[in-house]
Chain A
Amino acid sequence: MARIIVVTSGKGGVGKTTTSASISTGLAKRGHKTVVIDFDVGLRNLDLIMNCERRVVYDFVNVIQGEATLNQALIKDKRVDTLYILPASQTREKEALTREGVEKVINELSETFDYIVCDSPAGIEHGAQMALYYADEAVVVTNPEVSSVRDSDRILGILQSKSRRAEMGQDPVKEHLLLTRYNADRVERGEMLSVQDVEEILAIPLLGVIPESQVVLNASNQGLPVILEEQSDAGQAYDDAVARLLGEEREHRFMTAQKKGFFSRMFKGG
């Protein structure tokens, strides 16, 4: 049985697709057979970030509607050979995702993959609810600002009430907080919420902190998951996050302003 991980946030533009690309790549690099599904039907982006947009022939909706088989639609990544991408349709609407259709695809993928990463669209409507419905774990991507935190809180409530695990009365979806676009300088100047602030408000365990970085933007534009930029802060931070997702203990990094020569553990617990 595959482990199903949804990458979600409520708010748009916080880094869900960037995170989905990096986490799925990171899992695959460690040898786990991984598929990443783009649930953002109508606004597909994942294929751009994964640099496979020219190889999309069939998509998720085609598979749901029986117009193509899963094997026809899955795109094998050129960099990591245990990684596959199931792209979203650009021309359909999110209503094309039915619960039964999504279940059928996820069940079929579960038979051969270790991890299924679901890249959720923004919002809390149908598309986002389909992406999170079958999840075992959720990576809640949050920027250190009030509106993003509020939306993350909202999506956490939906995970608790509208996921399959909630509806079936099973163990709740395991929640992880991933703080992205973190700028320690601006936090010190009081212009951004700190890690502790966000952790305190959302009350879920911290998976990682991804520093704000030009590298992320450049990597996205080149169609490279930023986790493969192994020399960069952001790449290493994603690598740490993947390790923690797999149960490894790693100290949190990139949380203090770079001018300072030391870094102190800025928060209690993990």
Chain B
Amino acid sequence: MSDSAATDAKQSFQLKSASVSLTALELYYFENDEFEANLRDKISQAPGFFKDIPLIISLEKYEGLDSELDFFKIIGTCRRHNIHVIGVRAGNDDQRRLARGASLALLPGGSLRDKTTSEATVDKGHQAAAQPDTTHEPAPARIISQPVRSGQQVYAPDGDLIILAPVQAGAEVLAAGNIHVYGPLRGRALAGIHGAESARVFCQSLEAELVSIAGHYKISEDLQDNGWKSAVQIQLRDDVLVVTPLDKA
């Protein structure tokens, strides 16, 4: 999204259009204790990935009272968990006035896209699988052609991760988007780490220690019954990781 805090450009800097992928917290209603409990729960599923991330509050699905919408509490609670609320998306005029009062940036309504659905309070099952991100320039995929060895970590913070070599046991690959491994996946693969539930993991031989999509994970023991050591894709359906052989896809 574009950085639009436009003031007159002086010689000391230059304004440039920037495009970054953000996590949106889709708020349904707000009750501070419950919010914090849910937040803590989410963070515990993927500790580390939430640390110091910027977050926007999406109000499209907000059903609570405007009077309950206390942005100062939301910001404070998020801060306590090292999450930085930077703005709100959508919302009616009153809600946006409240947000401005809390010094939050106002972003245009999110009817355009729903790329990074963060599962903030309630999980929603209904999600058209693998909706392509068509609304803006896709983040470039990170491509790795060397084996990812034990103890190494490869991270694609914005987009997909494509690995043209094995991911060895004890290695870890992480991506905001999909992970493709054109080789055996023996280590840990975490796709959709900012909460993209539509992210998938593809590999030529599933031998993984752990596969996670948007914080929902399965460990090696739970993966062995289905598609083990064969070419598969793994996706999230109704909050459950589903493994499908690639030749039947």
B interface majority secondary structure: loop
Pairwise interchain contact A157-B165, C-beta atoms closer than 8 A: no
- Interface of chain A, main secondary structure: helix
Q: A153-B150, A157-B151, A157-B152 are in contact. Are A203 and B165 (CB under 8 A)?
A: yes
A154 to B186, CA, bound (A): 14
Is the pair B165, A153 in contact by a Cβ cutoff of 8 Å? no
Q: With an 8 A cutoff between CB atoms, is A201 at the interface?
A: yes
Question: Which residue of chain A has the shortest Cβ distance to B166 in the bound complex?
Answer: A203
In the assembled complex, which residues on chain A have CB atoms less than 8 Å from the CB atom of B227? none
Taking CB atoms and an 8 Å cut-off, the chain B residues in 153-167 that contact chain A are: 165-166
Taking the complex as formed, is B110 at the interface, i.e. its CB lies under 8 A from any CB of chain A? no
Q: Evaluate contact between A153 and B146: CB separation under 8 angstroms.
A: no
Nearest A residue to B149 via CB reads A157
A-contact bits for B167-190, CB 8 A (1 contact / 0 none):
011110000000000000010000
When distances are taken between beta carbons in the complex, the residues of chain B under 8 Å from A150 are 150, 169-170
The yes or no answer to B147 lying at the interface (CB within 8 A) is yes
Tally inter-chain residue pairs, CB-CB below 8 A.
33
Q: Which of A151, A156, A157 has the most CB of B within 10 A?
A: A157
Q: Is the CB of A154 within 8 A of B170?
A: yes
CB A258 to nearest CB in B, in angstroms, measures 32
Q: Check if A154 sits within 8 Å of B146, measured CB to CB.
A: no
Size class of the contact patch on chain A: 10 to 19
Contact partner of B168 (CB less than 8 A), chosen from A124, A161, A201, is: A201
- By the criterion CB–CB under 8 Å, are B166 and A161 in contact? no
For residue A220, CB closer than 8 A to chain B, the reply is no
Please encode chain A, from 156 to 180, with 1 for each CB lying within 8 Å of some chain B CB and 0 for all others.
Answer: 1110110000000000000000000
Min C-beta distance of A126 to chain B, whole Å: 16
Residues of A within 8 A of B146 (CB): 160
Q: Could you say which of B146, B150, B152, B166 has the most chain A C-beta atoms within 10 Å of its C-beta? A: B150
Chain B residue total in the interface (Cβ 8 A): 14
Interface string of B137-154 (1 = CB under 8 A from A): 000000000111111100
Contacts of B166 in A (CB 8 A): 201, 203
A-chain residues with CB within 8 Å of residue B149 when the two chains form the complex: 153-154, 156-157, 160
The residue of chain A having its C-beta at the shortest distance from the C-beta of B152 within the complex is A157
Could you tell me if A203 and B147 are in contact, using CB atoms closer than 8 angstroms? Answer: yes
Docked pose: A151 CA to B151 CA in angstroms? 10
A115-160 residues at the B interface, CB under 8 angstroms:
124, 150-151, 153-154, 156-158, 160
A159 to chain B, nearest CB (A): 9
Chain B proximity of A201: nearest CB distance (Å): 7
Contact of B170 among A153, A160, A161, A203 (CB under 8 A): A153
- Chain A contacts of B165 at CB under 8 A? 203
Measured CB to CB, the closest approach of chain B to A172, in angstroms, equals: 8
For chain B, residues 91 to 125, give those with C-beta under 8 angstroms from any C-beta of chain A.
Answer: none
Max count, chain B CB within 10 A of own CB: residue among A124, A153, A154, A158: A153
Which residue of chain B is the closest to A153 with respect to CB atoms? B150
Give complex CA distance A203, B149 in Å: 10
**Contact of A161 with B147 at beta-carbon distance under 8 Å, contacts A150-B170, A153-B169, A201-B168 already known:** no
A154 to B187, CA, bound (A): 12
Residues of B within 8 A of A201 (CB): 166, 168, 186
- Quote the shortest CB–CB distance from B48 to chain A (angstroms): 20
**B151 and A154 contacting across the interface, CB-CB below 8 Å:** yes
Which residues of A are found within 8 Å of B169, using beta-carbon distances? 150, 153
Distance to closest chain B CB from A260 (angstroms): 29
The B-contacting residues of A in range 85-137, CB under 8 angstroms, are: 124
State A154–B168 Cα separation when bound (angstroms): 9
How far in angstroms is the closest Cβ of chain A from B195? 29
Contacts of A161 in B (CB 8 A): 152
The answer for the CA separation of A157 and B151 in the assembled complex, in Å, is 7
Bound complex: CA A156 to CA B165 (Å): 14
Q: How far is the CA of A154 from the CA of B150 in the complex (A)?
A: 5
Name B residues whose Cβ lies closer than 8 Å to a Cβ of A: 146-152, 165-166, 168-171, 186
Binding site for B on A (CB under 8 A): 124, 150-151, 153-154, 156-158, 160-161, 201, 203
Ranked nearest first, the 7 interchain pairs of A and B with the lowest CB-CB distance are A157-B149, A153-B150, A154-B150, A157-B152, A154-B151, A153-B168, A153-B149
**In the complex, given contacts A150-B150, A157-B150, A203-B166, what are 15 additional A-B residue pairs having Cβ atoms less than 8 angstroms apart?**
A150-B169, A150-B170, A153-B169, A153-B170, A154-B170, A156-B147, A157-B149, A157-B152, A157-B168, A157-B171, A160-B149, A161-B152, A201-B168, A201-B186, A203-B165
